[in-house]
Amino acid sequence: MSEKVKEKIEFLYKGQDTEKIFSEIMSIIKNFKNQRKRKEFFDQEDVILITYGDQFKGNDKNPLFYLKQFCDEYIKDIINTIHILPFFPYSSDDGFSVIDYKKVDPDLGDWEDIKELSKEYRLMFDFVCNHISSKSDWFLGYLNGKEEYKDYFIEADPNEDLSKVVRPRALPLLTAFDTKNGKKYVWTTFSEDQIDLNYKNPKVLIEMIKILLYYIEQGADIIRLDAIGFLWKEIGTSCIHLEQTHKVVQLFRDIIQLTAKEVKIITETNVPHKDNISYFGDGYNEAHMVYQFPLPPLVLYTFMCGDSRVFTNWAKNIKPISEETAFFNFLASHDGVGLNPLRGIVSEDEINKLVELTIKRGGLVSYKYNPDGSKSPYELNISYFNALSDEDEREEIKIRKFLNAYSIALAMQGVPGIYIHSILGSQNYHEGVKITGQNRTINREKFEYSKIKEELDIKNNLRYRVYNGIKELLKIRKQYSAFHPNSKQDILEISRDVIATLRSSDKGKILALNNITNKKLVLKIDKEKIKCTKGEIISLIDKKIIITNDDSIEISLDPYEFLWLHYA
C-alpha cells in the first residue's frame, strides 16, 4: 500500500523532491493512533441523519448537547449515523468557509460534545478540502507576506482566458486582494470568502492529510469530501474532475487503508451521473460512497408527471460498482435540489417545467453562468415536503406523497440519508431567506429544542405524522437483509403509474410498489415476473396477507399509496 502512496506522489509532484514528500507522509501515517472500533461495511441497519450542529438550541446547554438529546430521544432506534455538517469556526456559507479546521465552533460546543455523540452513533465529518476561509490564519498569513503561506493559494491574471473553467455559482472566479506584495487576484471557485487551496504545493497536501487523520482520531467514521471535483486547477482546462483530483482522492483512500481501513470516504460531486460515479474509481481504490444526485430531482419529476417510465429507465441502469461501494440515496439535504444531474435524462423543457412548479409551490431557483455567458437553473431551493405538493391539497395527501417519495429512496440499493427537516416534516422557511438573502436558507431553519419537542409530541400534528411515518419505515427496513445496500435489485416495468423495485437476498424478497399518481389503481401482477414461486405474501407496512391466485396477484393501491411486500 505504501508503494501506491509513492506512485501517486510521483504522479502529482513530478520534478519535485518526491522522496522527501513521501517520507513526510509516511511519518504522519506512522504517528497516527486509531482508537475506535468500526464495522467493516454498511448493511441494512445503516441510515445517515444529515443535520447542522446548531439545529437545536436551548437556554442552559450548548447546541451539540441538544442535538444528542434529540437523537437519543427520537432516532436512536432507527438511525445509527449522524452527518454533522461543518461544525468548525466559519465566516460564511453556513459552515463551508472554515476558519480553523481543528477547532469546534465554540457557539456549538467542543470536541468533548463530539466525543459524546461518537459513543452512541457513527459520525460523518465534512472535510472541506477545496477551500478555506479568507479569515483563516493561512490566508491572513498569505496576505501579510509570510513565506510559509506564499504558495498555499492560486494566483491568476484576470486577463487570462479562464472561459473553460466550469463554474458552480454565478460569481466571479477571481477575487482581488491587497497583500503585502501588492494587489493579487486569487482563485475563489465558490465565493470571495472561500479561497481555493493550491494542491500543486505539496505542503498544502501534507497539511490536509494531517487534518484528515485528525478527524479520524476525533471519531469520524465517514469522511465527506466537500466540492472535491474542483480540487486541482490547470488553466486551459475545465478545472473539474481532473486526473490529479482523482489521484488525490485515491491517495486519501490509500492513507485510510494504512491507518483506519474501516473509515469510509464519500465524495460530494453534484454533476451528471457518469462524472459522479467516476469517483468510485475501479470500485476498490477511490470513494466508498457517492451521492445519488439524480434521485431527488427525478423523484420530484416523476410525481410531477405522474409517469414512472423515465425513472424506471434510469433506475434500471444503476448498478453497484463493487461489493465495497454503495450509493448514498437522499432526497433532501442542506443544499437545494440539484438540476445538473437531471440533464441528459430529461429535456431542458421538462427541467423548466420543474422550475415553474417549484416557484408555484413557494420555492426559489438558483442559477449558474455558462461558458457562453448565459445562465441556467442549477438548483431548486424549496423544502422537499413543499416541492411534492400543491398548497391546496389535503394534508393527508401531502403527507402520503412525502412518505411515498421517501419509501422509494429507502427501497433502492444503497445507504439512505435523511435530512433533519425531512424527518421533522419542515416546510419553506421564507422568513429565513429574508434575513440572510440566501436562497438555501429556505431549507435551513433552526429550532428551540423545547418547541420542536412539543410539536413532535402532539398527535395528529403534521410533524408528528411525518416523523412517525418515516420512523415506521426505518424500523421495518432494518429487519430485512433484502434492503442491504448491495442486495440484488430489479426495477420492474409493471405500469407507468407505478415504480416497482424488487430487492432480493437469500432470506427473502421485498417488492416495493409506489403509486405515483392521484388515481386509485388495481394491478394484476404475474407472479413469475416478481419471482414469487411459493408461500404467502405479507404487506410489511399494514401487516396484511395478500391473496394470490395460481399465477398472479391482484393489488389495489389508493392515490399515492405505497406497499412493501415480503415473500420467499
| Nearest residue to 266 via CA among 221, 310, 301 | 221
Per-residue pLDDT at 73 exceeds 90: yes
Q: Is residue 522 part of a domain?
A: yes
Distance CA 106, CA 110 (A): 6
**Residue 89, in any domain of the structure:** yes
pLDDT on residue 37 = 82
Residue 93 in marked binding region: yes
- Distant-in-sequence, close-in-space partners of 169: CB < 8 Å, separation ≥ 6: 190, 191, 366, 368
Q: Is residue 380 part of a domain?
A: no
Question: β-strands 222-225, 194-196: how paired?
Answer: unpaired
pTM (predicted TM-score): 0.96
| Final residue in a domain of this structure, among 237, 255, 288 | 288
Q: Which of 245, 271, 288 delimits the end of a domain?
A: 288
pLDDT at residue number 535: 81
Region 50-70 average pLDDT: 98
Q: Decide if pLDDT at 81 tops 90.
A: yes
Q: Which residue has the higher pLDDT, 41 or 152?
A: 152
Q: What is the pLDDT of residues 147-192, one digit of tens each?
A: 999 999 999 999 999 999 998 777 899 999 999 999 999 999 999 9
Last-in-domain residue among 263, 288, 313: 288
Q: Is 392 annotated as a binding residue?
A: no
Name the band, by pLDDT with cuts 50, 70 and 90, for residue 29.
very high
**404 — pLDDT class (breaks 50, 70, 90):** very high
Q: What is the pLDDT of residues 475-529, one digit of tens each?
A: 999 999 999 999 999 999 999 999 999 999 999 999 999 999 999 999 999 999 9
List all residues 6 or more positions away from 74 whose beta carbon is below 8 Å from its beta carbon.
423, 456, 467
Range of the domain at 497: 488-567
Residues 6 or more apart whose CB falls under 8 angstroms from that of 53 comprise 63, 64, 67, 84, 85, 87, 105, 108, 109
With CA atoms as reference, report the closest residue to 55 among 70, 44, 42: 70
Q: 219 Cβ partners below 8 Å, 6+ apart?
A: 36, 114, 115, 117, 118, 123
298 annotated to a ligand binding site: no
> Average pLDDT of 207-214?
99
Q: Is the pLDDT of residue 370 over 80?
A: no
**Which CATH number goes with the domain that contains 284?**
3.20.20.80
> Considering the domain boundaries, does residue 193 fall inside one?
no
As a whole number, mean pLDDT of residues 77-99 equals 98
**d(C-alpha 171, C-alpha 169), whole Å:** 6
Instruction: Give me the pLDDT at residue 560, please.
Output: 99
User: Which of 279, 280, 269 has the alpha carbon at shortest distance from 168?
Assistant: 269
Q: pLDDT tens for residues 129-144?
A: 999 999 999 999 999 9
Q: Is 241 annotated as a binding residue?
A: no
Would the annotation count 496 as a binding residue?
no
pLDDT at 33: 85
* Residue 161 annotated to the active site: no
| Tens-digit pLDDT profile for residues 250-300 | 999 999 999 999 999 999 998 888 899 999 999 999 999 999 999 999 999
Look at residue 121 and tell me if it is in a domain. yes
What is the C-alpha to C-alpha distance for residues 105 and 125, in angstroms, rounded to an integer?
Answer: 14
- Residue 271: inside a domain, yes or no? yes
Residue 565: predicted pLDDT: 98
Residue 418 resides in a domain: no
Considering only CA atoms, give the Rg of the chain.
Answer: 24
Q: What is the DSSP letter of 197?
A: B
| Opening angle at CA 165, ends 6 and 239, nearest 5 | 10
Q: What is the pLDDT of residue 69?
A: 98
Each residue of 308-342: pLDDT tens digit? Answer: 999 999 999 998 899 999 999 999 999 999 998 99
**pLDDT reported for residue 77:** 97
- State yes or no: 131 annotated in a binding site: yes
Query: Above 90 in pLDDT, residue 30?
Result: yes
Q: What is the overall mean pLDDT for the chain?
A: 96
Closest alpha carbon to 290 in 317, 329, 239: 329
Q: List the catalytic residue out of 105, 113, 221, 226.
A: 226
Residue 368 pLDDT exceeds 90: no
- pLDDT of residue 6 exceeding 90: yes
The label of the residue with cell 429507465 reads 313
Q: Does residue 145 come out as left (phi exceeding 0), alpha (psi in the -120 to 50 range) or beta?
A: left
What is the domain count for the chain? Answer: 2
Query: Is 21 within the bounds of a domain?
Result: yes
Check which CATH number belongs to the domain holding 559 and give it.
Answer: 2.60.40.1180
- pLDDT recorded at residue 419: 99
Residue 138 pLDDT: 99
Grid coordinates given for 385: 415536503
